[in-house]
């Protein structure tokens, strides 16, 4: 877990090397429950919820609001598991957002009543007996981490985002941040490092980082044009849509998904 008072680039908490050859760096955020959510449970909606600061709202909840509401047009999100990757993007700023008993609820605007819940703060239960402590601990987000991933031979050489896990270590959601290798239309491009501005801003706010991370020397940041040419062979002049997760179908088979 990172020290939020540091005045330099924050070192990764964990580095994973996958069988595909990709490297994933995770930098954990120090989580604190919000001071506003004391017993008994109370509902907080809309502007009143958005007005709460990080200490009142809680670290995980405030970060989710920063991603899903304040920067809704820059972020894709959804589960990102082996065999299943969701890349959802809102068409407009969400109009309905609320918090009750640890659960952040957000309605997806133009999709009618479609919505989702994330347990981002202390969960007690609303019934007379309350939630079982073991179940409550399992449901609540227990880890939030900034991650970045690099790997050669992929549709996109790198990926940047935020990931949440529950108390059992199961992934709750992944937030895909703007990628230097993809433009606003999600088409491959020559790296535009200014697209890391949201990544750097959030790391400064939640990690205390004042010096942006350097790109690893071994990262395949010059491989975009090679991957673009390989993909074009499969599906017409523009090829398959790249995914922010990085891997997709190339040469007729799924690679390391």
Per the domain annotation, does 140 fall within a domain? yes
| Band of residue 25 on the pLDDT scale cut at 50, 70, 90 | very high
What mean pLDDT is predicted for residues 19-29?
91
* Structural contact between residues 109 and 94, judged by C-beta atoms closer than 8 angstroms: yes
Per the domain annotation, does 132 fall within a domain? yes
Q: At 199, give phi and psi (nearest 5°).
A: -55, -50
Which residue carries 């706010």 as its tokens? 205
pLDDT of residue 111: 59
* Structural contact between residues 205 and 172, judged by C-beta atoms closer than 8 angstroms: no
Cα separation, 52 vs 217, in Å, equals: 40
Per the domain annotation, does 147 fall within a domain? yes
Per the domain annotation, does 5 fall within a domain? no
pLDDT of residue 156: 84
Q: At 35, give phi and psi (nearest 5°).
A: -75, -15
Length of the chain equals 257
Per the domain annotation, does 130 fall within a domain? yes
Per the domain annotation, does 8 fall within a domain? no
pTM higher than the cut 0.85 = no
- How do residues 43-61 score in pLDDT, each as one tens digit? 999 999 999 999 999 999 9
Angle at 154 between CA 150 and CA 159, to 5 degrees: 40
Neighbours of 35 (CB within 10 A): 12
Which residue, 108, 96, 103, 101, is CA-closest to 38? 101
What mean pLDDT is predicted for residues 17-35?
93
Return the DSSP state at 11. P
Per the domain annotation, does 9 fall within a domain? no
Per the domain annotation, does 4 fall within a domain? no
C-alpha separations of 107 from 46, 74, 86, 168 in Å:
11, 17, 17, 26
Number of domains in the chain: 1
Cis peptide before 68 (omega within 30 of 0): no
pLDDT of residue 193: 92
Q: Is 41 in a helix, a strand, or coil?
A: coil
Domain membership of residue 169 as a residue range: 14-254
* Structural contact between residues 144 and 60, judged by C-beta atoms closer than 8 angstroms: yes
Cα separation, 26 vs 68, in Å, equals: 21
- How do residues 116-174 score in pLDDT, each as one tens digit? 999 999 999 988 888 999 999 999 999 999 999 998 767 788 999 999 999 999 999 99
Neighbours of 186 (CB within 10 A): 16
């Amino acid at each position: 877990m990172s020290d939020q008072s540091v005045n330099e680039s924050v070192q990764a908490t964990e580095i994973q090397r996958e069988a595909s050859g990709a490297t994933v760096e995770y930098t954990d955020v120090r989580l604190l429950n919000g001071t506003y959510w004391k017993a008994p449970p109370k509902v907080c909606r809309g502007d009143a919820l958005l007005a709460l600061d990080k200490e009142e709202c809680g670290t995980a909840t405030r970060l989710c609001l920063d991603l899903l509401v304040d920067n809704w047009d820059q972020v894709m999100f959804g589960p990102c598991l082996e065999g299943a990757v969701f890349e959802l993007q809102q068409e407009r700023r969400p109009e309905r957002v609320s918090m009750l008993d640890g659960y952040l609820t957000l309605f997806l605007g133009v999709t009618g009543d479609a919505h989702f819940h994330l347990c981002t703060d202390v969960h007690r239960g609303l019934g007379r007996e309350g939630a079982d402590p073991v179940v409550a601990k399992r449901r609540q987000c227990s880890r939030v981490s900034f991650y970045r991933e690099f790997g050669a031979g992929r549709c996109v050489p790198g990926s940047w985002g935020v990931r949440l896990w529950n108390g059992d270590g199961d992934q709750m959601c992944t937030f895909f941040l703007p990628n230097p290798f993809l433009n606003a239309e999600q088409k491959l491009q020559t790296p535009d490092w200014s697209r890391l501005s949201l990544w750097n801003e959030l790391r400064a706010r939640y990690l205390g980082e004042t010096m942006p991370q350097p790109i690893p020397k071994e990262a395949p940041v010059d491989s975009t044009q090679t991957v673009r040419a390989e993909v074009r062979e499969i599906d017409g002049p523009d090829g398959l849509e790249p995914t922010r997760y990085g891997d997709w179908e190339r040469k007729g088979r799924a690679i390391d998904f």
